[in-house]
Structure 1
């Protein structure tokens, strides 16, 4: 009975975080709806537009619909719970990778699309994807559910989860640390040169702060999985999932908002950025094109 009480308390705690994540996603989408219509939906179809839409709206499936079914469904059997969690787990990993692709393209852009760095980033994101898929497969295979412990129980009753899932967050944390360093190095150089500070804020400051937030969330997730009991394995996974999509979307929207105001010839596709190379040489201003 004591174990059951602890489990129910943990499930209620997790449900609170899941509901908070769902509300945060809906609230943020309502705030950026106008920007999305202007800078994404009204633009021609392109690779970046498809990436943005997929990573922006996929959390409505895995972080809201499937997540709340797991937490709040009244009549669901163990097999149904396993199906829901399996689909949710794969969608979450897919969504994380889509967001990382956008952010990786952005990091590659500030390095002037260097070929060697491009090969390195492709290799890195491939290894990250393979590692996350492998860990997720093990985690979902070892996930077990049972029938309700009492008739009034709401949601899925999990009886086993593999803590190996923490490696998913470790892999993402390492990847985000690498991209953070790749953003900091050219960012410092750009600020030292001087020039278009407003543009640097959009490109570097916002990107660096975003990666710091994501890195910190990954650390919290690792600590939660490793330090707390098994009932808390996925307590803030939906929160990190939503923040990942939310911050990635805002970074891209802010870049496009800036470029729309300062570049009348702005075209969609991969966002065009014209960067001040050296403020001391007027002939260099806004001559070099970066694409993210």
Structure 2
């Protein structure tokens, strides 16, 4: 049903929607800039290398990000804004966690116990997120408005939906904290063991790259989680959804979400592949050397692709 109105009381809503569109465009521009900046590396380190599960995950996360940002900019159909982008988020987070599980499995030297533990916790959180996404789709409605000549869409959520959404972010944050703790623990352990080892510098540097990219990604996820929880639970924001401060808050949340999932997410793979490529390029360091590389197995020769 489409509602047409020229009532001036709708003007704050119109201004809020327009203001939000600026942040959505900014998020898309930032994503496109990062893609252009790293496209050369992507061609060299992804497209031209042997294809693997990590290759597929990288490409899906990277280009689903383009689709997500494009759909967010459209914003002219409730089903697009609330169904497609929501499901893209669910799938992308699942793929990012598969990437993290693969990294941890490699760091723990292929430990089956760690792999089983991570898979069980991953499935529990992911299934819950999927169920919440289905509930969100079933109990959320959208309306079409033509207000003072401006076409807008408004989404109406059931009362319990925001609470369920907050729970998904809390569970996701707990999982990320667990993954970070496991990564830091094994890295510290390896640094101690390899302190006096002849190859310790090379392997230690590899662990440093893994930890650095993981910590940056973790920090961004925590920031996004905090924004989401404040947005869903803060009485001030809920009571003043069309104020300038609230709109700025929503806009920053949108930008952080895009950067966390579709910029820092792919760099979890690209960063370690770039490091591995530098080792291969250094013939003196690469000769007869075996390094820990980010892919399906733990140890690979540096003459092979990551």
Give the TM interval when normalised to the shorter protein. 0.7 to 0.9
> Which residue of structure 2 aligns with residue 246 of structure 1?
263
Residue correspondences, number:
270
Distance 1:211 1:66, change over 3 A: same
Match of 2:50 among 44, 51, 54: 44
Q: Measure, in 1, the Cα distance between the counterparts of 2:233 and 2:19.
A: 17
> Which residue of structure 1 aligns with residue 115 of structure 2?
118
> Which residue of structure 2 aligns with residue 61 of structure 1?
67
212-221 vs 265-274, which deviates more? 265-274
> Which residue of structure 2 aligns with residue 261 of structure 1?
278
Q: Measure, in 2, the Cα distance between the counterparts of 1:14 and 1:225.
A: 17
Do 1:110 and 1:183's aligned partners in 2 also have CA atoms closer than 8 Å?
yes
Normalising by structure 1, what TM-score? 0.80
> Which residue of structure 2 aligns with residue 201 of structure 1?
208
Post-superposition offset of 1:118 = 0.6
Distance 1:10 1:165, change over 3 A: farther
1:19 paired with 2:25, answer: yes
Q: Measure, in 1, the Cα distance between the counterparts of 2:205 and 2:150.
A: 54
Distance 1:150 1:248, change over 3 A: closer
> Which residue of structure 2 aligns with residue 229 of structure 1?
238
Q: Measure, in 2, the Cα distance between the counterparts of 1:96 and 1:237.
A: 16
Post-superposition offset of 1:149 = 5.0
1:183 paired with 2:178, answer: no
Distance 1:109 1:209, change over 3 A: same
> Which residue of structure 1 aligns with residue 4 of structure 2?
none
> Which residue of structure 2 aligns with residue 127 of structure 1?
124
Q: Measure, in 2, the Cα distance between the counterparts of 1:274 and 1:261.
A: 17
Do 1:259 and 1:272's aligned partners in 2 also have CA atoms closer than 8 Å?
no
Specify every segment of 5 or more residues in structure 2 that has no aligned partner in the other structure, as ranges: 1-6, 281-285
State the SS of the aligned residue for 2:103.
Answer: helix
Do 2:166 and 2:229's aligned partners in 1 also have CA atoms closer than 8 Å?
yes
The CA RMSD measured in Å over matched residues stands at 3.2
Q: Measure, in 1, the Cα distance between the counterparts of 2:80 and 2:216.
A: 36
Q: Measure, in 1, the Cα distance between the counterparts of 2:11 and 2:95.
A: 38
Post-superposition offset of 1:52 = 1.1
State the SS of the aligned residue for 2:149.
Answer: coil
Post-superposition offset of 1:220 = 2.0
Specify every segment of 5 or more residues in structure 1 that has no aligned partner in the other structure, as ranges: 74-79, 276-285
Q: Measure, in 2, the Cα distance between the counterparts of 1:183 and 1:269.
A: 14
